[in-house]
């Protein structure tokens, strides 16, 4: 009983093979060798239009800059096929950056635009586990570094360059379909190759921080007593490295006998008034 269906199916399949498939196959082979078969699979889909995707995803201004730079446009287009992750600044970010952008040469503009993409496809999850320096589409060997640093803090993916003290933050996923990902960022990325690096944080603020102390000292102590600076004594001076020694002296000057000396001023003034 059970064998009836399989038998019937087998018979049907055999019938189909003889009546339908065989004639088709022979028609194909007789009509035109391999060419007919090669046409059968659907043509691969056209690569995505990266600037169109950026425009749609809130980066219209950036996409339009890419379209106006022939070098950048062709590099973006060829990168799309090999895998690419682009970081497009939002329209607001581009608007405030335009004065600086207009100052760049055509070559500088192309480099800046290409600085906003890396030749590797990253999902957002992939980016979140990729702290560190990355080469960009603007990188060309060691002569043109054009790298930036991906920095994750918690769930926030950020991109840092030495030319800017604020990191650009990834705001949203504009497009993500292997091999192309596009993320919107809230600032234009500035390569140090085109923009002055921000001063290293340590040396820059130091004089500023010192200034008020120095001025208050000079105001309060117009005739700083010589003995104050020597107060810490030889032991402290010998133990500490030069910088700390300097600070120790400064601290001693600010916090040592100075207040006593300052406290004497009102008394002296009072005495003078009497």
Ligand X SMILES: *[C@@H]1O[C@H](CO)[C@@H](O)[C@H](O)[C@H]1NC(C)=O
Q: Which residues are near ligand X by CB under 6 A?
A: 49, 51-52, 55, 99-100, 103, 133, 145, 147, 192
CB of 56 to ligand X, least distance (A): 8
Q: How far apart are the C-alpha atoms of 42 and 45, rounded to whole Å? A: 8
Beta strand spans in 82-205 (E):
84-89, 117-118, 132-135, 147-153, 156-160, 168-177, 180-185
For residue 184, count other CB atoms closer than 10 A to its CB: 23
Q: How far apart are the C-alpha atoms of 171 and 157, rounded to whole Å? A: 9
CB of 267 to ligand X, least distance (A): 55
Compare residues 100 and 123 and give the one whose CB is closer to ligand X.
100
Compare residues 69 and 253 and give the one whose CB is closer to ligand X.
69
DSSP 8-class letter at 1: -
DSSP characters over 23-62: HHHHHHHHHHHHHHHHHSSPPPPPPP-HHHHHHHTT-HHH
- Give the CA-trace dihedral at 198, 209, 241, 260, to 10 degrees: 180
Q: Which residue is nearest to ligand X (CB)?
A: 145
Compare residues 33 and 100 and give the one whose CB is closer to ligand X.
100
CB of 103 to ligand X, least distance (A): 4
Compare residues 99 and 212 and give the one whose CB is closer to ligand X.
99
CB of 120 to ligand X, least distance (A): 14
Compare residues 122 and 249 and give the one whose CB is closer to ligand X.
122
CB of 268 to ligand X, least distance (A): 53
Q: How far apart are the C-alpha atoms of 7 and 9, rounded to whole Å? A: 5
SS3 124: helix
Kindly report the CA angle at 249 between 231 and 214, in degrees rounded to 5?
120
For residue 125, count other CB atoms closer than 10 A to its CB: 8
Compare residues 30 and 105 and give the one whose CB is closer to ligand X.
105
CB of 54 to ligand X, least distance (A): 8
Q: How far apart are the C-alpha atoms of 148 and 100, rounded to whole Å? A: 19
Residues ≥6 apart with Cβ < 8 Å to 171: 90, 183, 184, 185, 186
Compare residues 85 and 249 and give the one whose CB is closer to ligand X.
85
CB of 226 to ligand X, least distance (A): 48
């Amino acid at each position: 009983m059970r064998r009836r269906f399989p038998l019937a199916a087998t018979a049907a399949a055999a019938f189909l093979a003889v009546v339908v498939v065989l004639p088709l196959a022979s028609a194909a082979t007789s009509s035109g060798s391999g060419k007919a078969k090669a046409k059968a699979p659907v043509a691969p889909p056209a690569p995505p239009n990266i600037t169109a995707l950026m425009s749609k995803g809130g980066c219209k201004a950036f996409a339009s800059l890419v379209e106006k730079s022939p070098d950048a446009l062709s590099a973006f287009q060829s990168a799309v096929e090999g895998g690419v992750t682009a970081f497009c600044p939002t329209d607001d970010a581009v608007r405030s950056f335009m004065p600086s952008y207009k100052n760049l040469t055509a070559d500088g503009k192309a480099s800046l635009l290409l600085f906003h993409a890396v030749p590797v496809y990253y999902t957002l999850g992939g980016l979140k586990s990729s702290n560190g320096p990355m080469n960009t589409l603007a990188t060309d060997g060691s002569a043109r570094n054009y790298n930036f640093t991906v920095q994750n803090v918690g769930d926030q993916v950020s991109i840092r360059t030495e030319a800017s003290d604020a990191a650009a933050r990834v705001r949203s996923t504009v497009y993500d379909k292997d091999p192309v990902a596009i993320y919107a960022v809230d600032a234009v990325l500035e390569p140090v190759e085109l923009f002055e690096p921000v001063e290293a944080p340590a040396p820059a603020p130091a004089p500023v921080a010192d200034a008020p102390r120095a001025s208050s000292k000079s105001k309060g102590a117009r005739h700083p007593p010589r003995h104050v600076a020597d107060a810490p004594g030889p032991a402290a001076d010998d133990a500490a490295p030069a910088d700390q020694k300097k600070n120790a002296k400064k601290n001693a000057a600010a916090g040592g006998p100075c207040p006593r000396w300052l406290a004497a001023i009102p008394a002296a003034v009072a005495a003078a008034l009497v």
